[in-house]
Structure 1
């Protein structure tokens, strides 16, 4: 690939990639679960898949503050994306422990697709068949809050919450939306809210910056969609995709991350590099090809700088994805969305 343009590597790395990496450290519940509480992801996190990356130890970086919880959620999602209707639907299971010193009567999830800015463009989410430990539960959805009621969740008790949901993707150039063939999936599924010294954090959606508060957890996500789609996602793809007719199924796993994001486009090409045992993947279309080499170089430089200043990057992969949007860049765990528009300057200044 010829390098037709020259980004300012320092500017690009500082504005998006390095910001992503420095903010990507997990926010752990405190204290972490005891060593004898075995996670269903233990085998996965100890597998060869992550042997190249040095894992972060689960410690409380702010011991002077009160506990955060619930702790160590394990998310399992099985979803299907209809590219013609722009609908994502499926099921989710969350296994999580009440590490707090109080009994909880409610469990809250944030359902960001119901934010007004998304609903104005046709977006939204519905939730059905909510169960706690296999029993049907009372619940209600109020704007961006899912309130599961009358749970009587005692300290140290583990709960398994399951639900079905349907997400209508809004038509917009944004971190959550679709435009042309590109689908951006940030903040798209019900995510467990955080309980801390202020109680449950249920602030409304804010469309600017990284205004999301969630605890670190593990994700096991199965996605079925049209076989033409090329997907970038948080975590690591497990095995090869399974193709049946026009549909393909992918599986991703991620550990110690605060969120799970995806980007899809059937026109994506991928260029890669490896630095300090971390895979750097850049996803771009023909229209965005002139930026690809510089984006890859920025990713490499960012990992090098991170490793020099903070230590080994604790995940095995970083995806940098091109898309059209109104912002310069948006950071999710192991995935950075870069907004590349026609009027973007080649010196790295946002157009």
Structure 2
């Protein structure tokens, strides 16, 4: 020990994000989802695309053919400020193209409409025994931006391999009456109503 004082230094995530998610679960276990994400550029760069983690795609048949009961994913619409946007989805990397550069301190709204089913024998995102549905990372999560690039790591099936910032969340949900919802909300009741609205601030995921 050299006696020097350790001083922690905060590293900027490069962006601000806020999520408004609508979740509807059918009796068949299929989820219909809408997610609106407010994205603000806190970096010094102009952005030509946004990079999101979309982990449910890792458990689809095309990515994980060894799964007997894989997940399914179908995007209906991705738009930016009301205008349809181009995108690519490869493994868990969802890149959304911007028609105009997003400059520092500017913000936009990104809208996703999609449906999915859960795999069996997934990891955190999975359907387990007794029809329990574990919906970890079920929505597109904006990656952090660092050193002039999106801080997007390759997905690993063990451990947490995603970098996203703490955000505010609003979740509107509608689930079958025989289910209860468990989330990051600190005022939950058990059993939960089958319809409701939750708001959580400054958490890594809902």
Normalised TM-score (structure 1):
0.50
Provide the rounded CA distance (Å) in 1 between the counterparts of 2:97 and 2:76.
14
Segments of 4+ in structure 1 off by > 3 A? 116-119, 236-243
SS of match in other structure, 2:56: helix
Give me the whole-angstrom Cα distance separating, in 1, the residues matched to 2:57 and 2:122.
17
Indicate which of 161, 166, 170 corresponds to 2:119.
Answer: 170
1:62-81 aligned within 5 A: 62-63=9-10, 65=11, 67-71=12-16, 73-81=17-25
Higher strand share: 2
Q: Which residue of 1 aligns with 2:105?
A: 156
Residue 138 of structure 1 pairs with residue 86 of structure 2: yes
Bigger radius of gyration among the two: 1
Matches within 5 A, 1:1-351: 62-63=9-10, 65=11, 67-71=12-16, 73-84=17-28, 86-116=29-59, 119=64, 120=67, 121-151=69-99, 152-172=101-121, 174-179=123-128, 180-197=130-147, 199-236=149-186, 248-260=194-206
Give, in angstroms, the shift of residue 127 of structure 1.
Answer: 2.2
Rounded to whole Å, the distance in 2 between the matches of 1:183 and 1:242 is: 15
The alignment partner of 2:181 has SS state of strand
Specify the SS of the correspondent of 1:255.
Answer: strand
Q: Which whole-Å CA distance do the structure 2 matches of 1:117 and 1:142 have between them? A: 11
Q: Give the CA deviation at 1:198.
A: 6.1
SS of 2:175 mapped into structure 1: strand
- Flag structure 2 segments of 5+ consecutive residues without an equivalent: 1-7
SS in 2 for 1:232: coil
Say if 1:178 and 1:184, in contact at 8 Å, map to a contact too: yes
Task: State the distance in 2 between where 1:251 and 1:239 align.
Answer: 13
User: Are the counterparts in 1 of residues 59 and 122 from structure 2 also a CA contact under 8 Å?
Assistant: no
After superposition, the Cα gap between the structure-2 partners of 1:90 and 1:116, relative to the gap in structure 1 and judged at 3 Å, is closer
From the two aligned structures, give the one with the greater helix fraction. Answer: 1
| 1:237-276 deviation per Cα after TM superposition (whole angstroms, max 9, x unaligned) | 5899997xxxx3122111101111xxxxxxxxxxxxxxxx
Displacement, 1:83? 4.2
The number of residue pairs the alignment matches comes to 192
Preserved CA contact (<8 Å) 2:180 2:190:
no
Task: Tell me the distance in 2 between the aligned counterparts of 1:79 and 1:251.
Answer: 10
CA distance in 2, matches of 1:239, 1:156: 39
The equivalent residue for 2:4 is none
